[in-house]
Homo-oligomer: A and B are copies of this chain.
Amino acid sequence: MRLPFRLDARDPGSRARAATLSTAHGPVSTPVFMAVGTRATVTGLDPSDLAALGAPVVLGNTYHLMLRPGPEAFSRVGGIHRFMGYSGPVLTDSGGYQIFSLAGDRSLTEEGALFRSYVDGRRQLLSPERSIEIQTAIGSDIMMVLDECIDSTSTEAATRAAMERTHRWALRSLAARRDPAQALFAIVQGGIVPELRRESAAFLTEHPFDGFAIGGLAVGDTRAAREDVTRASAELLPEDRPRYLMGVGTPPDLLQAILAGVDMFDCVLPTHLAWQGTAFTSTGRVKVTRGSCATADMALDAACTCPTCPRFSRAYLHHLFKCSEPLGPRLLSLHNLHHYFSLMREARQAILEGRFAAYARAKLDAIDRHEHSGRRLGPAPSLSELG
């Protein structure tokens, strides 16, 4: 049984679409931004906070969760939902990206990745089969195949080799899945080489995956290359299954990808920037640690209805960050996630009303204007700086 996926609307002026995924833990309306909850927690937030924000999906990470608390912790209580006290949909990444990040500290063979646990120093093998076994224990609603991630600046030969291994691993993952109630997505690779991306999409879409992700971006590529690859890859993926752009990105990145027909997103940016004191607002980014916020008895964003803006001033948030008080990052995380979720809700509404192309253009222009006028705030950190 394939993950039920219903197309609710197509935007007449772009490739954007609105859809509904029906997971074992409830429906998910797309376009959707998934909150990153790497270690079975969205840093600093409680499942009741996520419910209050209307967070549609939480994203866990197989690599981190296999090391701590370990798959047995999930088996014991019947999965991540009971473990973390969260009843909504969960997607687990396979750990491919984390293995890529380990670089010299792991050996990669056709079998899988061998590395030492940062928890107890023991040798661990993460193979496609082991990743599925762990994700089965975690009990996520959507599992990802283990892929071989590679730097966007690699040679074409190396990029092809990683892509071909990703394909073999995808088929091994499919064969290893036991319970079809847990959906399984494949990951299109091929770096920034259009021909390889085409080949990857063609190969993977021949097999009965529940959805397809576009992987290997935001790892050293430029924004232009990322947009080109996203556009070209999304076109190659079937209309009747969800498309997920992994690890990307800023609000403009998301709008561009929705224009290209992408449905699902995740990124550490809103929560990671929150911990650094930066808020997304309707008039550009605000760094609350700046001196100018010390006396600013105004909301972060007067137009915002998040749990933070109507109750706390920039001056108070500035104070909390200056004192390293954990309430500061918590309030900014709530705000930034609300900002992302609101953007997705607005986008969906615009698609349903057939006006997404115009909406996205106006929104992109406004963000561009604010980022330009706000340049004195300094450049935003790049995704690669954020890890």
User: How many A residues are at the interface, by size bracket?
Assistant: 35 or more
1/0 per residue, CB under 8 A from B, across A318-358: the answer is 11101101110111000000000000000000000000000
Q: How far is the CA of A312 from the CA of B323 in the complex (A)?
A: 29
Q: How far is the CA of A297 from the CA of B83 in the complex (A)?
A: 9
- The reply to whether A295 and B85 form a contact with Cβ atoms under 8 Å apart is no
A260: interface (CB < 8 Å): no
- The reply to whether A319 and B44 form a contact with Cβ atoms under 8 Å apart is no
Question: Contacts A319-B40, A319-B69 hold; do A313 and B77 have CB atoms under 8 A apart?
Answer: yes
A68: interface (CB < 8 Å): yes
Q: How far is the CA of A323 from the CA of B295 in the complex (A)?
A: 36
Which chain A residues numbered 19 to 71 have a C-beta less than 8 Å away from chain B? 39-41, 43-48, 68-69
- The reply to whether A45 and B76 form a contact with Cβ atoms under 8 Å apart is no
A196: interface (CB < 8 Å): no
Which residue in B41, B85, B297, B315 is a CB contact (below 8 Å) of A325?
A: B41
Give every chain B residue within 8 A of A44 (Cβ-Cβ).
325-327, 330
Closest to A318 in B: B69
> How far apart are A325's CB and chain B's nearest CB, in angstroms?
5
- The reply to whether A41 and B320 form a contact with Cβ atoms under 8 Å apart is yes
Closest to A311 in B: B85
Give every chain B residue within 8 A of A318 (Cβ-Cβ).
69
- The reply to whether B76 and A319 form a contact with Cβ atoms under 8 Å apart is no
- The reply to whether A43 and B319 form a contact with Cβ atoms under 8 Å apart is no
> How far apart are A195's CB and chain B's nearest CB, in angstroms?
42
Give every chain B residue within 8 A of A69 (Cβ-Cβ).
294, 315, 318-319, 322
A212: interface (CB < 8 Å): no
Question: Contacts A41-B320, A320-B41 hold; do A327 and B77 have CB atoms under 8 A apart?
Answer: no
A316: interface (CB < 8 Å): yes
A73: interface (CB < 8 Å): yes
Identify 18 residue pairs between A and B in the complex whose beta-carbon atoms are under 8 Å apart, listed by A's number.
A39-B319, A40-B316, A41-B323, A44-B327, A44-B330, A45-B327, A46-B307, A47-B311, A68-B319, A69-B318, A73-B295, A73-B315, A76-B295, A76-B297, A76-B315, A77-B313, A84-B316, A85-B312
